[in-house]
Structure 1
């Protein structure tokens, strides 16, 4: 653990990553137009929602640096994960809604590289190290990338987002049986869900998912309405809404079943390259 990188080591064949729950604007807070705006698009309370994961034996990796400083779930080269669709950059210059984050143009190439070296690289070094540790005792490991987003963001998607958005980049990042098992739990919950819809998995899922080598990566993007109230128009006065464990309990129960299924899959599946 450092002052910004939190690692909890479990022994089950499951690593849960939290790339977007951070609130720390680090040494660049004064460059943003508004600290609130720079934090607004966080995956609010997701690490608390998955607080049960450690009790299941999962390893967790979390950065406290906000995604507006550097998004550790973007391609470090700067290439878009969703060509032709609205998205945000490795070091975002706008919010999800398209509002400017900086008074000026934002970080230059040298500053982006500094942020990559300072925060992006250590975060992913930690994930790689923990996956290697777990693979030392398990034939298969599941990397579960945990996210959430507001239910309605017209710039990014039409209408209301499904409650559960499962991403495997169209299939190659994990065994199909695992994706189908997670989707079945979501379907049985009675909540809306989609597999490889608008959110198909970010750089973490795509980079680490190598099922033939024993690493099965899956992203879960939740609509925030499932565990917290969402105002029609977020403002500093009403956003974020406080975390309420009782409000979140039904969704947490479904997610518990999903993570248990991930662990069972890893323990039972034996397919990998020789």
Structure 2
């Protein structure tokens, strides 16, 4: 299994999918416990939600699961949210703080180093290359980082997550117009939404978001209740709610394409 799949387009927009992959190599799967093998913390069906919403969009998808290594974490292992509970570069638990590895099978430093080289690094090499290619064409590249998460996870946050969770690390990772356009369209949908709430943008958004260099990045974390039939196994997509959600996501993406010429 190749670590990454790239679908190349000619628009200024690049979609990143770091958490939709479900591939776990057999030697790693054998070390997971029953809970780990459920792959509960996958961003289920996110690639399907965004598929064919706009023509010409580049997509970069990690094919490996986040339990192999998390493509949206700092390769140095630095926490995204110091002082808050979160999972690491190679998670030891689910988002409910339940162990995912069999006794004595959690990865050590050598395991993590190998996984960085074999999985994490190729994904980001591909994503970086596509951002550079798109910027060379348009003078600007806009990264839209696609995520989802269960709507109720007490270990990570209180209450119920809004449908749309927009992250720009406090406005640092993109031009103000990009942030405003996404928030405006989310609000117009009538769905619950928040800007830079519990999820302010992961390592991908923070690493690639360099507005002064023509590199803009924004993260969209969708509550899975907005499009799944159930947030428990088998995590099936609900066709009706997914179609309604796609009707909002399409103009969100279009607004970013429309803004690009003004940012170059």
TM-score interval (norm. to shorter): over 0.9
Aligned pair count reads: 262
Q: Does 1:208 align with 2:202?
A: no
Q: Aligned partners of 1:182, 1:135: CA distance in 2, in Å?
A: 21
Q: Does 1:194 align with 2:188?
A: no
Q: Does 1:3 align with 2:6?
A: no
Q: Is the 8 A contact 1:38 1:68 kept in 2?
A: no
Structure 2 counterpart of 1:136 = 136
* Structure 1, 67-76 or 103-112: larger mean CA deviation: 103-112
Distance 1:240 1:267, change over 3 A: farther
Cα distance, 1:57 vs structure 2: 1.0
Q: Aligned partners of 2:187, 2:133: CA distance in 1, in Å?
A: 33
1:240 to 225, 234, 237: 234
Structure 2 counterpart of 1:83 = 82
Taking the TM superposition and a 5 Å limit, the aligned residue runs for 1:60-79 are 60-79=59-78
Q: Does 1:149 align with 2:149?
A: yes
Cα distance, 1:36 vs structure 2: 5.5
Q: Aligned partners of 2:16, 2:246: CA distance in 1, in Å?
A: 16
Structure 2 counterpart of 1:253 = 247
Query: Helix, strand or coil for the counterpart of 1:7?
Result: strand
Q: Is the 8 A contact 1:147 1:222 kept in 2?
A: yes
Q: Aligned partners of 1:248, 1:58: CA distance in 2, in Å?
A: 20
Q: Aligned partners of 1:240, 1:193: CA distance in 2, in Å?
A: 26
Cα distance, 1:105 vs structure 2: 5.5
- TM-score normalised according to structure 1 size: 0.92
Cα distance, 1:5 vs structure 2: 1.4
Q: Aligned partners of 2:154, 2:112: CA distance in 1, in Å?
A: 28
Q: Aligned partners of 1:169, 1:100: CA distance in 2, in Å?
A: 29
| Structure 1 gaps, min length 5 | none
Q: Aligned partners of 1:3, 1:107: CA distance in 2, in Å?
A: 21
Q: Does 1:106 align with 2:106?
A: yes
Distance 1:245 1:267, change over 3 A: farther
Structure 2 counterpart of 1:15 = 14
Structure 1 counterpart of 2:120 = 120
Q: Aligned partners of 1:222, 1:9: CA distance in 2, in Å?
A: 24
Q: Aligned partners of 2:64, 2:148: CA distance in 1, in Å?
A: 16
Cα distance, 1:35 vs structure 2: 6.5
Once superposed, what is the RMSD of the aligned Cα atoms? 1.4
Query: Helix, strand or coil for the counterpart of 1:112?
Result: helix
Q: Aligned partners of 1:38, 1:114: CA distance in 2, in Å?
A: 23
Q: Is the 8 A contact 1:44 1:240 kept in 2?
A: no
Q: Aligned partners of 2:238, 2:226: CA distance in 1, in Å?
A: 12
- TM-score normalised according to structure 2 size: 0.96
Q: Is the 8 A contact 2:36 2:101 kept in 1?
A: no
| Structure 2 gaps, min length 5 | none
Distance 1:225 1:146, change over 3 A: same
Query: Helix, strand or coil for the counterpart of 1:221?
Result: strand
Q: Aligned partners of 1:195, 1:123: CA distance in 2, in Å?
A: 27
